[in-house]
Structure 1
Amino acid sequence: MGQLDEIVIAAMTRAMQKAEPLLAEALSQYGVTSPDQLLPGVAGKVFQDVMLRVAAENFPNAQLDALKHGLAAFQHPLFETALLRLKAQSLSTSDAFAMATGRDAAIVLAGLGLRVAPFDRKTPRILAEPDNDIDKVGETFAKWKTAYVGYSPCDTPFYMLLTDCVRTMRTQIADRPELRELKDLVTRTGLALPSGPFPAFKHGIILIPRELGDSVSTIFLNNPNPNDGSVGLYAGWSINGSREGAPNSGFLPVPLQFLDAAIKEPEIALWIWRPTGPRVVLN
């Protein structure tokens, strides 16, 4: 077990200890002593309110907005059903740049906090206003069942760097003039790119926090060389309500690699709210 795991377990143990008397107090107001004596919706609301109070009083650095959204999502039947279906599938594909598709993917991403909307498969454009309300997203994607799941890289607090070959990505970024802006971003953040050894064409995604005042553009290098991989940076920025630096009026389909990483590593969900430090996920 790693040090981070021990810290998380200790924090959760402390939180539950703090929650017990508050939960008993809240249940007494309903004349019961156990959550299973309440209707599921009421019990979930009581638990959510107690955990938010514990976090606010005892964990001053807690991301209360993320915690509140996440607690509500995990109690939502649409989220639970969609998550179970996605976990039963294999999201890994031979295409490192595959796009998240369909209602289940949209609901899970919205539940984690990402504002999403259907993205047209035929003409690259967003089809509705992005949202992270599960009910609204579920209703919208019921109209466009097979649409890509779109989001705005201009509005998220992080960039997604994708490649289909981690082994050659470092050289590509260092040497290719098309990736100069990406090279500057890597240098500025002090990002340590994976150095291997890796098998040929191993996929990977790196999440990089946005900094105030950034104006980094979306970049995609489609490399036809059979020995080198391709590299894409999902980026952009917003200024005075206008999305800049990204195609399709500032919208792109969510990479399937990101969805896969968010399902396998719940910590990724916090990146949707306030990222800290680069994060590397190899697939």
Structure 2
Amino acid sequence: MKDIQIKDHKITSKIKLSDLPSKLDLEADKDTTEDALRKVRRQLGKLQDTMYAHGKYSVLVCLQGMDTSGKDSLIREVFKDFNARGVEVMSFKVPTELELKHDYLWRHYIKLPARGKFGVHNRTHYENVLVTRVHPEYILGEKLPFVKSIDDVNEAFWDKRFEQINNFEKHLTDNGTLVFKFFMNLSKDEQRNRLLRRLDKQEKNWKFSAGDLKERKLWDKYMDCYQDAINRTSTDYAPWYNIPADDKPTARLAVAQILYDTLKQYTDIKEPDLDDKTKANLHLYREQLNNE
């Protein structure tokens, strides 16, 4: 089985989305791939326990991708061995009335993970430069004082929004949040297959929405917006990773392995030492318990 290398997925220069692979061949069958995932997710779970005790870093995992790219099942499988207290999952839908009364980053900021925890955001603050860019009329719902009409949602508007997002992520990383941004790179053909499965399998029918087909017709526009967003916001402090998503087991393993291999480089993450007084009296505490 081929190893997963961070460098093969991390985006460190300008890219063309059409050049990035949507399939990952690990030269392994499904069972072998799933065995590898079980191993690395256990390692991740143990590492998170240590991070919880250490209490100085938080981890923000951002998952972005087209409908059916496998985000929900990836969350279920990758974080299965985490202590429930150590991971918080948020799925961002259409903004609520309350959320629209705040700036577009507010609802994401208030759901950030505390120190020692993982936060997994299924769809993220990038919806505000993806969906809203494909459908700029949505910006009018934000009731921004300087946006009088759709004509004001121009290139200067998007330039400013990308600048704000980069500043937001820099602020997070400067304050101890480790940011991972995964682009679930699904091919258009595979999306078609997955949408058909939702129609063909009764137990999957509930996942289907006619709106999925409307958005699918805008595929090329979405790809242009994803490419621009990735190129403008893949930074040293908050890089993007391309995750080939046509095969779900390999996509899950890639995300888990990248998380673990990156986090284990932080050699300062370890359980805190006991204070000298407690250390010196361990035998007394043990004796007290044994003599109960």
TM-score, normalised by the number of residues in structure 2: 0.25
| Greater Rg over alpha carbons, structure | 2
TM-score, normalised by the number of residues in structure 1: 0.25
